[in-house]
Chain A
Amino acid sequence: DVKVTQSSRYLVKRTGEKVFLECVQDMDHENMFWYRQDPGLGLRLIYFSYDVKMKEKGDIPEGYSVSREKKERFSLILESASTNQTSMYLCASSFPSGNTGELFFGEGSRLTVL
């Protein structure tokens, strides 16, 4: 059974803290994505990666960075958390579109920044 695992379902952090959100997939997918989801705004792409050590900015990369040192792991980093980063964060992975391209999501990480 395919699986995308996000390390934390719920996090509460204080303004200015450094936050790490971890995502691991066991499907040998090349592509990995980080989205945030907010009411009324839908899913917005933060960063994606199509290979180890490769990263590309999405629509809203400001305030975030990512790391992909191994194929199965894609980390989202908030260098200095702010209250406007309170959100649901969703990790996803897929093969490239030339190989089905079906997208699989993790369970999400609900981050609250106080």
Chain B
Amino acid sequence: KQEVTQIPAALSVPEGENLVLNCSFTDSAIYNLQWFRQDPGKGLTSLLLIQSSQREQTSGRLNASLDKSSGRSTLYIAASQPGDSATYLCAVVDSGGGADGLTFGKGTHLIIQP
């Protein structure tokens, strides 16, 4: 059974720093991997989706990479801002691609200090 781990569980950095969030998964036979952002008391907002054939995706100050062979993905946030403070979750879809083949990590709670 797929397991998704996000380390660290919490991270606090000063504004302006570049930072990396990590996501690891135990079964490399995945269909895609998705990064989400969740603000307190809200739903999840999709940030980036990486298909298994891709190595990275970029959106603005965000860059997500995927290394299937090592079972890892990273989310790089450039020039962090206080508005980036949120919980970031990753989720993988297993290669069977079925609706139940989706596994979430527990997230990294990020605080950007002004």
A101 touches B32 (CB 8 A): yes
| Chain B 58-114 interface residues, beta-carbon cutoff 8 Å to A | 89, 91, 93, 97-102, 104-107
**B34 lies within 8 A of chain A by Cβ:** yes
Partner among B42, B49, B93, B104 whose Cβ is within 8 Å of the Cβ of A42: B104
| Chain B 4-57 interface residues, beta-carbon cutoff 8 Å to A | 31-32, 34, 36, 41-46, 49, 51
For A104, list chain B residues within 8 Å (CB): 46
For B44, list chain A residues within 8 Å (CB): 90, 92, 103, 105
Number of inter-chain CB pairs below 8 Å: 64
B91 touches A103 (CB 8 A): yes
Known pairs A100-B49, A101-B93; A56 contacts B42 (CB<8 A): no
Query: In whole Å, how far is B108's beta carbon from the nearest beta carbon of chain A?
Result: 12
A105 touches B43 (CB 8 A): yes
- Considering only CB atoms, which chain B residue lies closest to A91 in the complex? B43
Partner among A42, A50, A88, A108 whose Cβ is within 8 Å of the Cβ of B99: A50
- Bound complex: CA A31 to CA B107 (Å): 23
Query: In whole Å, how far is A104's beta carbon from the nearest beta carbon of chain B?
Result: 6
- Bound complex: CA A107 to CA B44 (Å): 7
- Considering only CB atoms, which chain A residue lies closest to B105 in the complex? A42
List 6 other contacts, CB 8 Å, given A96-B97, A97-B101, A100-B51: A4-B43, A42-B107, A101-B97, A103-B91, A106-B43, A110-B41
Can you name 7 A-B pairs with beta carbons within 8 Å? A42-B107, A48-B100, A97-B32, A97-B97, A100-B49, A102-B49, A105-B44
Which A residues are within 8 Å of any B CB, using their own CB? Answer: 4, 6, 31, 33, 40, 42-43, 45, 48-50, 56, 58, 88, 90, 92, 96-98, 100-108, 110
